[in-house]
């Protein structure tokens, strides 16, 4: 049987490969697999940060006048 940390490590990889816009759904599925919210919250932060860096692009919008 896998330990909780093993399950989190394996399941967290799914977040990195989730389609854009589907991270919340994948995360909720992982919550069901791990079944330990406290442990999940302790370990999942860096994975979510990496996922955000991979899937989002920050841009500067030049100032424009409104008509």
Average confidence (pLDDT) over 36-48: 90
Average confidence (pLDDT) over 16-34: 89
Our count of domains for the chain comes to 1
Question: What is the reported pLDDT for 60?
Answer: 84
Give 4-62 as a DSSP string: HHHHHHHHHHHHHTSPTT-HHHHHHHHHHHH--HHHHHHHHHHHHHHHHHHH----PPP
Residue 62 domain-assigned?
no
Residue 59 domain-assigned?
no
Residue 32 domain-assigned?
yes
Average confidence (pLDDT) over 18-39: 89
Residue 63 domain-assigned?
no
Provide the domain limits for residue 11: 4-53
């Amino acid at each position: 049987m896998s330990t909780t940390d093993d399950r989190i490590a394996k399941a967290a990889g799914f977040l990195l490969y989730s389609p854009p816009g589907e991270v919340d759904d994948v995360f909720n599925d992982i919550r069901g697999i791990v079944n330990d919210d406290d442990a999940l919250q302790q370990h999942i932060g860096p994975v979510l940060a990496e996922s955000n860096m991979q899937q989002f692009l920050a841009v500067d919008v030049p100032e424009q006048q409104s008509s």
